Amino acid sequence: MDLRYSESDEAFRKELRSWLDSEVPAHGRPPSEHDWPARREYDTAWQRKLYEAGYAGINWPKEFGGRDASLTEQLVYYEEIARANAPYVGVNFVGLLHGGPTLMSEGTPEQREKHIGPIIRGEEVWCQGFSEPSAGSDLAALKTKAELDGDHYVVSGHKIWTSFAQVSDYCELLVRTNPEEKHRGITWLAMPMDLEGIEIRPLPTIVGSSEFSELFLENVRVPVSCRIGKENDGWRVTNVTLSFERGTAFASDIYQLQESLRELTRLAKVLTRDDAVAWEDRTLRRDVGHLAAELDGLWALVKYMVSEAGKTGVPGLTGSCVKLYYTELKQRLGDLSLRLLGRASLSRDDVGGMASETIVYEALQSLSMTIAGGTSQIQRNIISERVLGLPREPR
């Protein structure tokens, strides 16, 4: 597939860039990481602006309110969003980037009608209730149980690392409906977050934010109508969800890494080390060059993945390759940034006119990326077994 930019793509870029140059400064800076109601208002207001301007759901079909942009227009979109330093998708991440697409693929007409419009307009926020403390990286080992009682599932259990739970309207929840089957005993529910029996406990992270929470569920009655897909078919539905999370969900973030590397290079050309400009360090220049080349390669892999999704409607196993490479490369960029900052990296504030607060935040935040959405070890297993066809790991 030809992914070179056409005159039409460049016209779209010009239109989008003009809109972003006007709207991004007007939207202002995001509120504190600790004020989640304000963060919800900020993120959903930006989503409404995107929707009203026709830029929301860039790859979603028009029947669901999206723009249905071509593959090359999607790439232009990700590039321009990163260039303009536009507001991050934030609390809309789960709903927009894999919950909504999962509903489009697996939901009933009634479920699509109920949720997809509110998600894309920024009226409905979702969180993800997949991980459990006792399951570790083995997602299918989850124990949160759901027992059928009339037209409700009665759910009890414990979830962890639930992003944006404190401001969410719905949770994409995995539950065990058949204790005798591991993978074939799981069901996917769209659980309303205002039901009785749900307790949310925020978890502070190393960067000082509290976007993660624990969910404690005790006899929560979830209507059967909230089930996505068939009972005990949740593992297959989950893999559709995760293919979106590991694939196109990171496209804009990956392009943003290129801007972060350019910022690091600019900083290296003004900082001094041992009475010399840091950029004079050959080792530093070599490492920057390697990262730049790898970022170019990663962006080419993103283009391949978007092309793949365009043909099948769902990102393929390439998403695991992208997720693995992106998250580990982000950590190496963080390490290089801290090395450049030197002692200033010990501060959480800007030092000597440098944006060290942001650099340290990004470096620390990158530590979680090789765990979230499936650990690097899990991605390597998927790549070796399903992409390369190597023998399965003994289990």
Q: Which tens digits make up the pLDDT trace of 127-159?
A: 999 999 888 778 889 999 999 999 999 999 999
pLDDT at 368: 85
Q: Which residue has the tokens 């079909």?
A: 61
CA–CA dist 170, 289 (Å, integer): 44
Q: What is the pLDDT of residues 281-320, one digit of tens each?
A: 999 999 999 999 999 999 888 888 777 776 766 666 778 8
Question: Cα angle at 139 between 143 and 171, to 5 degrees?
Answer: 75
DSSP annotation of 163 reads T
Pick the closest to residue 172 from 148, 190, 198, 151 (CA basis): 190
pLDDT at 308: 74
The residues annotated with a catalytic role in the active site are 245
pTM as predicted: 0.83
Pick the closest to residue 272 from 195, 334, 211, 353 (CA basis): 353
Q: Sign of the C-alpha dihedral, residues 339, 376, 215, 395?
A: negative
pLDDT tens digits, the chain, 395 residues: what are they?
566 788 999 999 999 999 999 999 999 988 887 789 999 999 999 999 999 999 999 888 899 999 988 878 888 998 899 889 899 889 999 999 888 988 998 999 999 999 999 999 999 999 999 999 888 778 889 999 999 999 999 999 999 989 899 999 999 999 999 999 988 999 999 999 999 999 999 988 887 778 889 999 999 999 999 999 999 999 998 887 766 655 556 777 888 888 889 888 988 898 887 788 889 999 999 999 999 999 999 988 888 877 777 676 666 677 888 889 999 999 999 999 999 888 888 777 776 666 788 888 889 889 888 887 778 888 899 889 988 889 887 76
